[in-house]
Amino acid sequence: MRPRIWMKGITQEILEERIEQIKDPQIRQQVACLVWYDFMGERLVADISARERGYFEPYLNAPPVYLSEEQVIPGLRWVGYPKETARLRARRLE
């Protein structure tokens, strides 16, 4: 996983643990999908290990959820996104 500069030191295992701690399943799914696209979206699927794909595939293959910016920001903040980055990322959903 290619971490962004502000994610330095946060491993996929830590991200998975934090995502799993999000109680609302729809917010968990949306955050997992955003993490996937933000950190692996530029890579070819063939270049992503089965281990990396395995965790995210159920979220990616689930029916889409449509949440507001206000619903998603706390989840993004929980997994490690800085406040402004979370706000900007959630805004792109609407």
The tokens describing 17, both together, are 């643990």
**pTM for the whole structure:** 0.85
Q: What is the DSSP letter of 45?
A: G
Residue ranges per domain, the chain? Answer: 10-91
pLDDT digits (tens, 9 = 90+) for 13-64: 888 999 999 999 999 999 999 998 888 877 777 788 888 888 999 999 999 9
Cα–Cα distances (Å) from 86 to 46, 48, 49, 78, 90, in that order, read 28, 24, 26, 10, 6
Residue 43 CB: number of other CB atoms within 10 A?
12
Q: What is the DSSP letter of 49?
A: -
Quote the CA–CA distance of 46 and 49 in Å, as a whole number.
Answer: 8
pLDDT at 12: 83
